[in-house]
Structure 1
Amino acid sequence: MPIRLRDFVRFAVFGIAVALIVAFGISPFTGGVVQQWSRSDVETRSRLVFNAIQPFLDRDVADQSWDRLSELFRRVALDKKILAVGFCSRAGTLVAPTPEMPASFDCGKIAKFESESFSDIASGGRRILVAAFPVGGSEGRSYLVILTDLSFASARSSQVVAYLLASLAGVVLVLTVGTIIFAVFMLRSWMNSLRRAVDEVRLGRSGERLAASGSAMDREIHKLLRRAEDFTQAHQIDWTPSALQELLHGVLPGAEVLVLSNREPYIHNRTDDGVVVQRPASGLVSALEPIMRACGGTWIAHGSGSADRDTVDAHDRIRVPEGSPAYALRRVWISEAEQDGYYYGFANEGLWPLCHIVFVRPSFRTDDWQMYQRINQRFADAVVAEARTEDPVVLVQDYHFALAPKMIRQRLPKATIISFWHIPWPNAETFSICPWRREIIEGMLGSTILGFHTQFHCNNFVECVDRFVESRIDREVQAVSLGGHETKIRAYPISIEWPPGALAGVPARDACRAEVMAKFDLAENTKVIVGVERFDYTKGIPDRMHAIDALLTRDPSWRERLVFIQVAAPTRSKLGAYSQLQSEAEDLASEINGRHAGGQSPIRLVARHYESSDVFKLFRAADVCVVSSLHDGMNLVAKEFVSCRDDNAGVLVLSSFTGAAREMSEALIVNPYDTEELAAAIKRAMTMPLDEQAERMKLMRQQVKENNVYRWAGTMLVDAARSRTRERIVALTEFGENAHATAAGAATVRPAS
């Protein structure tokens, strides 16, 4: 990386400051030395004068010829540096003094020694040196006194200091001019390099000539511009697993990629038939697997399988996938007590209801928070331990690890950390409920890029930052600066793989419908309405049942003509709110079925896990799919239903409180809290003409196809690569811009000739 102009300016300013400090620091010392030297010079001159006139002095004193002595002193005082000359007799009387002798001078004040002596006196605001030289024998001494005004010594000291400062100013001027000349030279070199690199890219040349003959700066700029061109092309590709891998090699060549998530991509469980490997049906796993296969990085996750410990090495790692290992899976162990505090406690009894705003009171306990901190630190330490470079790309997933980005940043300050929040983010008023709101926000702001499903959630987060954390917010570019680090806030709508892999073994629509009708013992012309969710209070399962009840009550003609099949897998059964929800849903289904009893029950509640292939069969058989989440970050069930309908039939009834509603406006968008509106939408869906169904479904399928999960992952990686490259380009462009501004400034202040 080239030296920037600001470094030169800082160096020049530093040099000037040092020069001034040195000059003013040594000024008193220099003045003292000059004055001491001047005094020594005066003493030497006084001694020389005495030696020169001593014979005449002895004669005139012996003859007591005071007139001749006065004339002798007058001639000596003609020296401009000598103020006055006089003779102190044995009686201490001043004899034959010259006219400039101070009136206050008294012979009794001179130092009387057997040899010469020098002393200072003050007179009229002046400092005067008195030189006394003994004359005569030991029986009684008289003294020649020569007085010299030392004011010239102070003047000489001031001149020397002035000359010193002038010399240093000249050195500083030369340094400044030299810096400007060098900066202008570097600017021209930089501009020439940039022009050559731009021409190479514009003409479509491969850059071999630059690589072979160009300067290091030529090659660096050329490489960065090529990388920028890759970013532009990334938005035009057809998103597939292979395209994602190619993109990764293009925009992040040689980068080390680490994934941090609570869920692991491969789970080893013990069964009666031995250890089996289970791959979770997760959009997250589907999105990130191609990245890990391409870069050969490390996936760090909670080892939750019953045989997970038996399959790792001494460092808790295992190469996956089995048979063709492509990357490492590092498992982190969590005890049951830690799981209760970190996962069930703070994450799912605290953050989950807080962010979803479904009127379930969040529970915040100090013990859970402390456990959450401890587990976040454990996973952050694992990331640092697995990193082989100082600047890895770290993908942190979901609300389980809100604190991890800052913890990782403290240990790996050069890392590119992409955090994605898979659930909604509430407004500032709601988030203020959390006792540790500031710590959570600051933890997330350790990220380089922080992603949410929708811009609405991004805006909510920025408002929370503005309210709870002292930071600098740039709303124009949606970025937050805290502690010298900038975090970009971006919306990345997550999606599913296209086409879903599990669809490969699913038969066509007619076969699926026949299988479902037989399985649930339904009449041939029955309208099939489906819902597939986990048993979670955010999904609005009871609200769907109430809507079916309202529809049948308002229009009894639909009895025996519709059936609502709700598949709901039990989850988080340790938490009372979830087990209570399942119990209430089962009681509600029985109550509604009893109220509308007939040949077939209108509600079929299936409280068990369905494999992906079985879910897709249900989707293909359905006439209507209801997604009535009370609040959801995205909701991939809606996209999975659309992906299954290659017959372009079927209608999606979709809650307005899902992220998916912002992408698939062709669905029937409803307020799930409005029972009558939801019931009316279900009726409209069942009676919608096939041509309208096809028109709506085609548009939704195209949207899901183009914005699939690989695009979601690829867009984040492109932004991460752009962020890494921007730091290097800024180093080059800042140098050029600053050099140009400084050169222009130098020309502006140049004196006229």
Structure 2
Amino acid sequence: MTDYGAGLLWVLILASFGLSALAVFFSISRQRRSHPPTVAHPAGEDVTAEAARKIIREFEKNGQSADAALVTWSPETLRKILADDLPEAQVIVVSNREPYIHNVSGNGVELLVPASGLVSALEPITRACAGTWIAYGGGTADRLMVDKDDRVQVPPGNPSYTLRRVWLTEEEHQGYYLGFANEGLWPLCHIAFTRPIFRASDWEAYEAVNRKFADTVVAEARNERPIVLVQDYHFALLPRMIRERLPEAIVITFWHIPWPNSEVYSICPWRERILEGLLGSSIIGFHTQFHANNFTESVDRFLESRIERADAAISYGGQTTLVHAYPISIEWPADLLARLPDVDDCRARLRDRFGLKADVKLGVGVERLDYTKGILDRFQALDELFKRYPEWIGKLVFLQIAAPSRGTLPAYKLLHDECHRYAEELNERYGSDGYKPVIMVAEHHTQEQVYEIYRASDICMVTSLHDGMNLVAKEFVAARDDEQGVLMLSTFAGASRELLEALIVNPYDAAMMSETLLQALTMTPDEQRERMRPMRQMVRDNNVYRWAGSMLLDAARLRKRGDLDRATGTAERQPPSIDNVVSMFERKRVAM
């Protein structure tokens, strides 16, 4: 080895040791609310590989991982990670839904910020990273607002990143989005007993649109080494397509919905193609370890691959993909809460809006109108409550905010009709002059309007039949700075693994839900506070920046390892856990 090559190698090794130390302190815990022992780390002190390993062993001895509780997660934290560990890296986000939609209105052009969990999670990340967001431009005025390269700077009034819009024909949107993604993959991945529909023409459109987005990623990449964050089930083929064109890119795919067990997944006619596409990723993330395990089992069943379960890694086609759980969260809404009226004013405004009496208890549900959300099931629980405890008739009102969604699909049309019919039946059965037990509002609300509803309510019901995470539960908790209110949360939502102080329910059991609803209605303010306080702390600490930071730190480890392999002319395939990276660096030093 030349002196120049040896010097370069030492620089990379020393930089990587620093990264290993950072990883120890900034690694994301896979456990809820862990409290690791404090480790002395004086500013400027060199951290050797043995010291890093000793720290890790100390955490493991206590049954914990090196935790990021030592860090206050914020936009500044992400920017520091990018500057220190991914210098000059371009962050590209890819999703079907765009964060800002321009529509033609009577007054010119109207700006719409969609009420989407994905958007609310990713928008602050893209702002912090000054990245590029690639999305389908579906607004009626979207083409009017872009430049010659189909780009627009956002947010309006204070631009901090670029939105690159991709145009689809009506046929492409029908086949790729409404067809394969939402009539095929969506019901396949959710246990809601709606039969998936797979059509060859939809698959062809899905493949073509994924290719179109891959072309756009390549066009937007400033070099061959971007960090690409691929979002959700709309783009299962995209990671492999990007890898073919940009082999040095770090591709992180996050699957926002559940992943089914391998038997259910086998229904999909293109099951191998989807798995191969996803395994083009450097990292694949899920909300829960359970869904990550289901994915790994599907790969094990349908593809010839090497699976390292202890290291959460899959080797396929000469490439290793990490499969991890990264529970998504929200941006802590401190600025939003500062702008909102206090809780009493929110209650007064909402009661005036719907003509509610001051002494009635208010339950709320907030979501898209979707058959996975359990709206009909909570109506059944309300019906059961009134049958068992008729004294609550006239004293409880349930407000259901159900934003229209995918209304052209038959399953959604049917759900719309069933929900409205059931609500009318409950109002006829239990209502009276000036009192309706159910108020159904099928319209979109802004984030501020939704938070006012959270603050005005006594109970928030999140009764998903199946959900990857469900950010409504976390938003409700964050909105309650009065530390009051009760969260009823489905055991089949990923959020139930974190918000343990919620009242956990089985949405398929109407009798059980009615009893839990009674418990919520009669809960004392002290108990509400005891439950709400730790949930708020959990959501505040495990915020969306921690979610993104954990993935970026894993990306940084992969990039450093790849740089070291290229510098030494090696191509080791050992799964890149922290211990493996540290031990690899030690072997390189001994070899020299």
Tell me if both proteins adopt one fold, taking TM over 0.5 as the criterion. yes
TM-score (normalised: structure 2): 0.86
Q: Aligned residue for 2:11? A: 219
1:244-393 aligned at under 5 Å gives the runs 244-393=78-227
Q: Aligned residue for 2:587? A: 737
Distance in 1 separating the partners of 2:317 and 2:24: 31
Indicate which of 6, 23, 29 corresponds to 1:231.
23
Q: Aligned residue for 1:506? A: 340
Distance in 1 separating the partners of 2:531 and 2:11: 51
Distance 1:574 1:502, change over 3 A: farther
Tell me the amino acid that sits aligned with residue 12 of structure 2.
E
Which deviates the most, 258-267 or 275-284?
275-284
TM-score (normalised: structure 1): 0.68
Distance in 2 separating the partners of 1:323 and 1:545: 42
Distance in 1 separating the partners of 2:207 and 2:154: 29
Indicate which of 673, 684, 690 corresponds to 2:519.
684
1:3-22 aligned at under 5 Å gives the runs none
User: Aligned-pair distance for 1:676?
Assistant: 0.4
Distance in 1 separating the partners of 2:279 and 2:159: 34
CA contact 1:245–1:291 (8 Å) conserved in 2? no
User: Aligned-pair distance for 1:739?
Assistant: 8.7
Q: Aligned residue for 1:712? A: 547
Tell me the amino acid that sits aligned with residue 535 of structure 2.
M
User: Aligned-pair distance for 1:291?
Assistant: 4.2
Gaps of 5+ in 2: 27-67, 569-582
CA contact 2:12–2:564 (8 Å) conserved in 1? no
Indicate which of 431, 446, 455 corresponds to 1:611.
446
Which deviates the most, 422-431 or 320-329?
320-329
Q: Aligned residue for 1:437? A: 271
Tell me the amino acid that sits aligned with residue 648 of structure 1.
E
CA contact 1:245–1:290 (8 Å) conserved in 2? no
Q: Aligned residue for 2:497? A: 662
Distance 1:664 1:578, change over 3 A: same
Indicate which of 481, 485, 501 corresponds to 1:646.
481
Q: Aligned residue for 1:461? A: 295
Distance in 1 separating the partners of 2:551 and 2:295: 18
CA contact 2:329–2:543 (8 Å) conserved in 1? yes
Distance in 1 separating the partners of 2:376 and 2:540: 31
CA contact 2:125–2:545 (8 Å) conserved in 1? no
Greater Rg, structure 1 or structure 2?
A: 1
- Cα shift readout 1:613-644 (whole Å, capped 9, x = no counterpart): 22111111111110000000000111111011
User: Aligned-pair distance for 1:646?
Assistant: 0.6
- SS of the residue corresponding to residue 311 of structure 2 reads coil
Tell me the amino acid that sits aligned with residue 19 of structure 2.
R
Distance in 2 separating the partners of 1:734 and 1:640: 42
- Cα shift readout 1:452-490 (whole Å, capped 9, x = no counterpart): 000000000001001111111111111111110010001
- SS of the residue corresponding to residue 221 of structure 1 reads helix
- Cα shift readout 1:583-638 (whole Å, capped 9, x = no counterpart): 11111111111111334121111111122222111111111110000000000111
Distance in 2 separating the partners of 1:290 and 1:378: 26
Distance in 1 separating the partners of 2:528 and 2:159: 44
User: Aligned-pair distance for 1:256?
Assistant: 1.6
Distance in 2 separating the partners of 1:738 and 1:452: 33
Indicate which of 505, 515, 518 corresponds to 2:352.
518
User: Aligned-pair distance for 1:340?
Assistant: 0.7
- SS of the residue corresponding to residue 476 of structure 1 reads helix
- Cα shift readout 1:556-599 (whole Å, capped 9, x = no counterpart): 11111111111111110110111110111111111111111334
Distance 1:638 1:324, change over 3 A: closer
| Structure with greater contact order relative to length (CA < 8 Å, sep ≥ 6) | 2
- Cα shift readout 1:134-173 (whole Å, capped 9, x = no counterpart): xxxxxxxxxxxxxxxxxxxxxxxxxxxxxxxxxxxxxxxx
Distance in 2 separating the partners of 1:365 and 1:686: 47
Q: Aligned residue for 1:140? A: none
Distance in 2 separating the partners of 1:324 and 1:479: 41
CA contact 2:426–2:438 (8 Å) conserved in 1? yes
Q: In the alignment, is residue 398 of structure 1 matched against residue 248 of structure 2?
A: no
Tell me the amino acid that sits aligned with residue 618 of structure 1.
I
Distance in 2 separating the partners of 1:295 and 1:570: 32
Q: Aligned residue for 1:552? A: 386
Distance in 2 separating the partners of 1:638 and 1:238: 22
- SS of the residue corresponding to residue 339 of structure 1 reads helix
CA contact 2:133–2:163 (8 Å) conserved in 1? yes
Distance 1:285 1:607, change over 3 A: closer
- SS of the residue corresponding to residue 362 of structure 2 reads strand
CA contact 1:248–1:291 (8 Å) conserved in 2? no
CA contact 2:152–2:162 (8 Å) conserved in 1? yes
Q: In the alignment, is residue 472 of structure 1 matched against residue 322 of structure 2?
A: no
Distance in 1 separating the partners of 2:193 and 2:230: 28
Distance 1:309 1:410, change over 3 A: same
Tell me the amino acid that sits aligned with residue 226 of structure 1.
G
1:169-248 aligned at under 5 Å gives the runs 215-234=7-26, 235=68, 236-248=70-82
User: Aligned-pair distance for 1:262?
Assistant: 0.8
CA contact 1:342–1:369 (8 Å) conserved in 2? yes
- Cα shift readout 1:288-330 (whole Å, capped 9, x = no counterpart): 3444345443221111111211222222223333444433322
- Cα shift readout 1:405-424 (whole Å, capped 9, x = no counterpart): 00111111111000000100
Q: Aligned residue for 1:628? A: 463
Identity, % of aligned pairs? 56
Distance in 2 separating the partners of 1:443 and 1:507: 48
Distance in 2 separating the partners of 1:510 and 1:563: 18
Tell me the amino acid that sits aligned with residue 247 of structure 1.
I
- SS of the residue corresponding to residue 714 of structure 1 reads helix
- SS of the residue corresponding to residue 720 of structure 1 reads helix
Give the number of equivalent residue pairs: 534
CA contact 1:301–1:332 (8 Å) conserved in 2? yes
- SS of the residue corresponding to residue 252 of structure 2 reads strand
1:60-139 aligned at under 5 Å gives the runs none
Distance 1:411 1:520, change over 3 A: same
CA contact 2:75–2:128 (8 Å) conserved in 1? no
Distance 1:566 1:372, change over 3 A: same
Q: Aligned residue for 2:43? A: none
- Cα shift readout 1:247-283 (whole Å, capped 9, x = no counterpart): 2222211112111111122222222222233333444
Q: Aligned residue for 2:509? A: 674
Distance in 2 separating the partners of 1:447 and 1:682: 43
CA contact 1:559–1:598 (8 Å) conserved in 2? no
- SS of the residue corresponding to residue 87 of structure 2 reads coil
CA contact 2:288–2:494 (8 Å) conserved in 1? yes
Tell me the amino acid that sits aligned with residue 555 of structure 1.
Y
User: Aligned-pair distance for 1:713?
Assistant: 1.0
Q: In the alignment, is residue 493 of structure 1 matched against residue 343 of structure 2?
A: no
Gaps of 5+ in 1: 4-185, 194-214, 744-753
Distance in 1 separating the partners of 2:230 and 2:481: 34
Which deviates the most, 273-282 or 600-609?
273-282
- SS of the residue corresponding to residue 466 of structure 2 reads coil
Distance 1:277 1:519, change over 3 A: closer
Tell me the amino acid that sits aligned with residue 268 of structure 1.
H
Q: Aligned residue for 1:169? A: none
- SS of the residue corresponding to residue 487 of structure 1 reads strand
CA contact 2:364–2:400 (8 Å) conserved in 1? yes
Indicate which of 410, 424, 434 corresponds to 1:576.
410
